[in-house]
Structure 1
């Protein structure tokens, strides 16, 4: 193996990088609360952009810009597939980077402001005089936003395996992501949903209101990103030569656990993102009040926050794979309640709670499982490719967005969902036929995707005994390298 020359884009010297290198034993030290909190703040920062777009961009495109649901479905499909490939590009950049700030943290420092500015632009797209031109401009801005988001989110997600190798602490980091993301999602819904109700039928007033909110979240997002940057350190460190494309492909091609995790995640999260794409429409036209989205979101956040602290205990008691299957079961149960009884608000609340209980558990476990696949790749190939591994996992998650949103928006378009915010659109979208389509997405999609995801995860090959063996082997290798070096 050739000797590494870890010089980053900022010109950091090998001496500076060696000075910043932690003791290999630090990787097995327990994490203090402040580190876990700071890591969770990073996901909260990401979600001031991501959850904003995920929860309200389809509504904004359809209601404010007046684009048909079928067009928005196509935009979502094309842009999110592009974003998925952008994640792979970002992963290659990350694996080629090393600076005095570490491998991953510099992207959070330098990329956060461009992301937040682009988020404001994403929700201030002007009418271009025709639907076609407006759709093209919206798609281009959305695509640029997605690329910049990838250049932050890939390093942020890759950061977790570089913070600790302790399985329980990785569970805590995954839980912190859940807390951070869910709290910001609730805040977004608390701020935006009343505006939708208040400005119903007035697209210009809704545009102004959303723009002001986006500027406020720009400031909040920057604060959260800086808390993350200054509050975490990379403690799992291995100097490696820059991985070639062939090496990166070999690491991920031979990573069977990563393949099963990605496949199951695409299916499961596709169901979640499909629900998310139509949830605001569901509350407006099936339940009859846009502000009820606040209560659904609150039920979802409570479910996520209730389950997140139990993730480390679930990992310790039944393991990650069985815990994931438990999350799928809750997701399916919630879908059944929504499909059969979701037209009644109390049952819609209950169904949404159970679906999000499953989402919260599995989202937490996914991040812990992804960290395990990084260890597997190094254990099997002796090359540690956090960026390439995480970027493939993020590719899968982006594909799940594309799949879920396309299926959901195309389905409601088939049922006659109408763009715009005028009286004709409201009358059409409150018809029994359209309401049935919305209910089928909200309830039927979790049932189908939960079953398929569980079937795939049944074959995930890393159990807790295998993981312990891998970590022990890798720890011994690093100690030997430290002595030899």
Structure 2
């Protein structure tokens, strides 16, 4: 397919790129010899005139001694006005599906009045993982976490109160049930993640879980509040334990596939971050809805236990509809490279071995766990701080809003912060500011307005941290695939969810343990010095310690530096096929194949 330039014997090899609809462009440009080593300024690139209403492929002739190959990738920069033609590091293909488009932008010299200089435009043909995602795709994806928080937010805010004050179960019994169930829930997450990896259907691997799991999830949310009214305490406790853990199974069966869907909608890191930001923003909207709508709904249905049941019938119906919106709007576009074994064919021990090789996953897991310990301590201690230091128990609502509303603004700011500075740097800065915000209450412990200010400060930096948390795990999935040639999504994501559950469980337990060690007595209007010190410990000092650990983990988390290389190699695999797994994995796969053939 090579041709010859008119007055020079340099062979020209065509590279096809897709040009979007454009006004007529006709340019003839020669290369400058300072941009292409050992080339004379005699090669030409021609743009034929076009005035099309639809995309078309345009051949660009490149002056290389041999056709560019996957191992000798090039990029093309075209100066429309200056006749500049150069190369750096790009992947040219003949009508390659991953060469998405040419994007013209200012490059090099700028137009300067009076000097006769003309602007230089450039074009880079790049391998892109970007998909056609619009605002509706991002918003629709976020609806899933809003639906999840109709239940998850309720578990944190109302369930303990409902069981102790409405049903009449002792707080100690409820606390023990929650601790056991949280541990069980973490195991369920890993099991569901493994099943998601082995799911293959016409709807994909994650979406069918949202389609068929929404109704059971809604029904089991309602049954959480349908405790038999006239049964003995023993029967009530057994009912609560069974209904709560069935809900946790349904919860994991929705939350894990929903989170995994992020890594299946697109492989582009920026788009994944935006999906995560939409998810986190609408999750906070869901919490605000639960915070402000639950009690009015309960009262509107007459109060009492039946009021709670009917209120959650309404909320569960809305949640089901939101899950189906996610199912209907999202598409699983990410396909494994040629030569990669299907995930359903991976033995579990191969998945586990690949998981253990992923060092950045463990850093992300540790960060998630320690951060949620600090978060749980913050939320659990707030009511005690408001009651005994501010002497305003009802201030909890205002303090929560002062925390969440700035967090939502912070989440939106991530769309500008992450591309410019990178997730890791932004998170480290936010953690440092968080430590400062947690220290400040020590200087004015009983000042209501000052504590509101510190809550706002915490919320502003909480937003970017929240916006990054679930964006780390899709990155570790791609890194793990690149390192081991074994692609495992559900298991890695569910392991992250396990870290969240462990962190929340430990943090919740620590609130009770520290208060008990300090001699806290809820029946007393005035607490002892030891109890007040315990409140300081859970509100100030322990979160600071866990944030410091998070900073250390983020300092070691350097995936952002190698991620462009990772994605470049994965793009190559999509075209030429994935390399064979390392010998240790191949041996396990061969053994599994041999066992399967024997059967």
Fold in common (TM above 0.5): yes
- Cα distance between partner residues in 1 of 2:407 and 2:295: 20
Superposed CA deviations along residues 391-413 of structure 1, whole A, max 9, x for unmatched, are 11111111112111111233345
Alignment equivalent of 1:380, drawn from 471, 477, 483: 483
Residue 444 of structure 1 corresponds to 541
Residue 84 of structure 1 corresponds to 186
Alignment equivalent of 1:315, drawn from 418, 431, 439: 418
The 3 A distance-change label for structure 1 pair 42 and 431 is same
Superposed CA deviations along residues 163-187 of structure 1, whole A, max 9, x for unmatched, are 1222221211111011110001011
Superposed CA deviations along residues 296-345 of structure 1, whole A, max 9, x for unmatched, are 23222212211112223322222222222123223323322456545443
Larger Rg belongs to: 2
- Cα distance between partner residues in 2 of 1:102 and 1:406: 39
Paired residues for 1:91-170 under 5 Å:
91-126=193-228, 133-170=235-272
SS at match of 2:158: helix
Residue 75 of structure 1 corresponds to 177
1:431 aligns with 2:526: yes
1:459 aligns with 2:556: yes
- When structure 1 is superposed on structure 2, of 335-344 and 233-242 the one drifting more is 335-344
SS at match of 2:558: coil
- Cα distance between partner residues in 1 of 2:545 and 2:233: 34
**Higher normalized contact order (CA 8 Å, seq sep 6+, divided by chain length):** 1
- Cα distance between partner residues in 2 of 1:301 and 1:322: 22
1:268 aligns with 2:371: yes
Superposed CA deviations along residues 184-207 of structure 1, whole A, max 9, x for unmatched, are 1011111246799x9xxxxx9554
Residue 12 of structure 1 corresponds to none
Contact 1:69 1:412 in 2 (8 A): no
Equivalent residue pairs, number: 446
Q: After TM superposition, give the deviation of residue 268 of structure 1 in Å.
A: 0.8
Q: After TM superposition, give the deviation of residue 375 of structure 1 in Å.
A: 0.2
1:212 aligns with 2:295: no
Q: After TM superposition, give the deviation of residue 49 of structure 1 in Å.
A: 1.0
Contact 1:104 1:156 in 2 (8 A): yes
Residue 180 of structure 1 corresponds to 282
1:223 aligns with 2:321: yes
- Cα distance between partner residues in 1 of 2:296 and 2:524: 19
Alignment equivalent of 2:571, drawn from 454, 457, 475: 475
The 3 A distance-change label for structure 1 pair 409 and 127 is farther
Residue 389 of structure 1 corresponds to 492
Alignment equivalent of 2:143, drawn from 17, 21, 41: 41
Q: After TM superposition, give the deviation of residue 359 of structure 1 in Å.
A: 3.0
- Alpha-carbon RMSD across the aligned residues, in angstroms, is 2.9
Contact 1:27 1:235 in 2 (8 A): no
Q: After TM superposition, give the deviation of residue 414 of structure 1 in Å.
A: 4.8
Q: After TM superposition, give the deviation of residue 223 of structure 1 in Å.
A: 2.0
- Cα distance between partner residues in 1 of 2:236 and 2:388: 26
Residue 335 of structure 1 corresponds to 438
Q: After TM superposition, give the deviation of residue 361 of structure 1 in Å.
A: 1.5
Q: After TM superposition, give the deviation of residue 86 of structure 1 in Å.
A: 0.3
Contact 1:73 1:410 in 2 (8 A): no
Q: After TM superposition, give the deviation of residue 209 of structure 1 in Å.
A: 4.1
- When structure 1 is superposed on structure 2, of 396-405 and 318-327 the one drifting more is 318-327
Residue 87 of structure 2 corresponds to none
Residue 473 of structure 2 corresponds to 370
Residue 116 of structure 2 corresponds to none
SS at match of 1:233: coil
SS at match of 1:458: helix
Contact 1:299 1:349 in 2 (8 A): yes
Q: After TM superposition, give the deviation of residue 280 of structure 1 in Å.
A: 5.1
- When structure 1 is superposed on structure 2, of 151-160 and 284-293 the one drifting more is 284-293
SS at match of 1:123: coil
The structure whose residues are more often strand, as a share, is: 2
The structure whose residues are more often helix, as a share, is: 1
- Cα distance between partner residues in 1 of 2:238 and 2:385: 27
- Cα distance between partner residues in 1 of 2:387 and 2:167: 18
Residue 421 of structure 1 corresponds to none
Contact 2:410 2:462 in 1 (8 A): no
SS at match of 1:101: coil
- Cα distance between partner residues in 1 of 2:179 and 2:452: 29
The 3 A distance-change label for structure 1 pair 140 and 277 is farther
Unpaired segments ≥5 residues, structure 1: 1-22, 199-203, 419-424
Contact 1:41 1:180 in 2 (8 A): yes
Residue 346 of structure 1 corresponds to 449
